[in-house]
Amino acid sequence: MTMKDVNLLAFNYGYGSFTNGPGISCWNFTKFCNIKFNIFIKLKTDIINDNVKNIKEYNNNKTNYVHWWSGLTEEFFNVVKKEKRQGKKIILGPNLFDGSNPDKEIKICKEIQPDLILVVNKEIKYKLKKYLNYKIEDFMTGPDYDLWVPPKDKYVNKILWKGNTSHESKDISTALELRKKIVDKMEFIGYPYPYRYMEHVREASGYAGFVCTSLSETKSEAVLEQLAAGVPVITHPKVFMMGLHYKTGIIVNKNVEEFAQAALLLLESESLRSDLSIGAREFVLQNFKKETLSDYYLWLLNEC
């Protein structure tokens, strides 16, 4: 495989005008894989890389594969349809289909005839298999554990909440109710104002714990980042990557009372925090090895 065999289309990439899980996941993915991607994006990024261009600059080069990572836009759709007619192998996802709009997903697949669909977890995989007769595989990228590292000292003995508060799914209201329960033991990043991604990494890595109040998460990049930094996470079963109960954090039912009980337990027990911190970091290192992801992706390309 030559160095430029994959054109990657993504709505956003890394951090920039809009930072979210899919954008960060895409950035991590291209760093982890032993391929030099041609990356075409819709939104502005702060990542300086000669291989990153706006989708308007897309050119029909001699790549073998076109990978539409995210962004259900007409512009991307037209590019991919044209590339399919040129005989390119087409990969969709993992941040493209989630089963929430079957009619649209069926229409796209009928027009494109993808060679492979990637999704972020097995639940979505089998949901899509009910109405899409294409090869579907789960494909979850992990956090950049060289960036998210445990600090020498946990300098903030408080519980952290962070997220894009413009999304109702993050359920900021529950987080605010939790703060009333534990008063001065909780802090927010991303509320009421957005945070700059690279500037918040060191700060977010130093908390005693992290709470995810989201209504649901198909993966949750934020959870994985905190685990990589050795920050125990309080989650609930609607978060797909919830971690392991009393190994990486504490898993509770999604209500303020149980969140508060878990938070106070975590804050009051230094030995518990220490054990969970070690378990959190180990969980990420064991389950999201960069070499494994790269080998798996290359295998998928060869199987297309």
Q: Which of 40, 44, 58, 49 is nearest to 15 (CA)?
A: 44
Write out pLDDT tens, residues 272-284. 999 999 999 999 9
Question: CB–CB of 179/141 below 8 Å?
Answer: no
Write out pLDDT tens, residues 128-152. 999 999 999 999 999 999 999 999 8
Residue 138: predicted pLDDT = 96
Residue 4: predicted pLDDT = 52
Residue 2: predicted pLDDT = 47
Q: Which fold has domain 156-287?
A: Rossmann fold (3.40.50)
Which residue spans of the chain are classified as CATH 3.40.50.2000?
A: 6-141+289-303, 156-287
Give the residue ranges of the chain where pLDDT is below 70: 1-4, 165-166
Residue 25: predicted pLDDT = 96
Q: Tell me the three state secondary structure of residue 145.
A: coil
Could you tell me whether strands 186-189 and 156-162 are parallel, antiparallel, or unpaired per DSSP bridges?
parallel
Residue 156: predicted pLDDT = 83
Does pTM top 0.85 for this prediction?
yes
Residue 208: predicted pLDDT = 95
Could you tell me whether strands 116-119 and 136-138 are parallel, antiparallel, or unpaired per DSSP bridges?
parallel
Cβ count within 10 A of residue 289: 14
| The CATH number of domain 6-141+289-303, selected from 3.50.50.60, 3.40.50.720, 3.40.50.2000, 3.20.20.370 | 3.40.50.2000
Residue 164: predicted pLDDT = 76
